[in-house]
Structure 1
């Protein structure tokens, strides 16, 4: 294969396994981190961990998890993710409340991405609530 063809060849994102590094940026492997939330084996105990698991779901194009963890009052009827969007990193900037002892929380984050070769960042303050004992995403405000 020539150098030019290997550079221009498009490949899909690598498959994730339980042993893969978790996309959310925490040091645990995916199966011990966000993977257990995605599979339904556990529920995220804090708003920040739900935020991280939702970011990982965007990376993995897991629309079912995103819809399942979205507040019913603000959840869209359908969610279609753009496979050309490649999420490249998550930075949690601030967390207000959102512990197992709170009923609501705010998480401010910056998520880096690449879309059709252009780099960018999504800066958002997200609102979370506990509903029936589980954290759900309510809405977000774009910043910057």
Structure 2
């Protein structure tokens, strides 16, 4: 993805302008080894962007080892339509939750994923653990 393009996660700045991928999720997805997401919301947004861009390496690297799958498959027909972050809540010194709604089109139908995701921080890095879907 061109770093100047709008970030797939839909983040906007204080003037309600779309933030460029390079200044948003690209910092984390493209530079995982050197740049960790500062909180669970940033990690969740960057994971959404990684799903849009089919970056399996990033998704697996940011998945907690206790629940990480061996591999990921992407639906090649899926077109991601948008992300709405509803809540970011710190639940402990090293834990947090993010509630979000992500939408995608698969074939001719729109699918809505509404989830409250759980995250844990280990060695200064946030990891996705699991989530409850609504």
TM (norm. structure 2) is 0.90
Task: Give the structure 2 partner of residue 25 of structure 1.
Answer: 10
Q: Is there any run of 5+ residues in structure 1 with no aligned partner, and where? A: 1-15
Counterparts of 1:108 and 1:45 in 2: how far apart (Å)? 17
TM (norm. structure 1) is 0.84
State the 4+ residue runs in structure 1 displaced beyond 2 angstroms.
none
Q: Secondary structure at the match of 1:135?
A: strand
The CA RMSD measured in Å over matched residues stands at 1.3
TM superposition shift of 1:102: 3.4
The worse-fitting range, judged by mean Cα deviation, of 75-84 and 49-58 is 75-84
Counterparts of 1:49 and 1:102 in 2: how far apart (Å)? 17
- CA deviations 1:95-132 (Å, max 9, x no partner) are 1117xx93100000000110011112100000000011
Counterparts of 2:21 and 2:93 in 1: how far apart (Å)? 26
The alignment of Structure 1 onto Structure 2 pairs a total of residues equal to 126
Q: Secondary structure at the match of 1:76?
A: coil
Conserved 8 A contact 1:114-1:120: yes
- CA deviations 1:68-93 (Å, max 9, x no partner) are 00000100011111111111000011
Conserved 8 A contact 1:61-1:83: no
Pairing of 1:68-107 with structure 2 (within 5 A)? 68-97=61-90, 102-107=93-98
Is 1:113 paired with 2:104? yes
TM superposition shift of 1:39: 1.5
1:48 to 41, 54, 70: 41
Q: Secondary structure at the match of 2:51?
A: helix
Counterparts of 1:48 and 1:102 in 2: how far apart (Å)? 15
Q: Is there any run of 5+ residues in structure 2 with no aligned partner, and where? A: 12-17
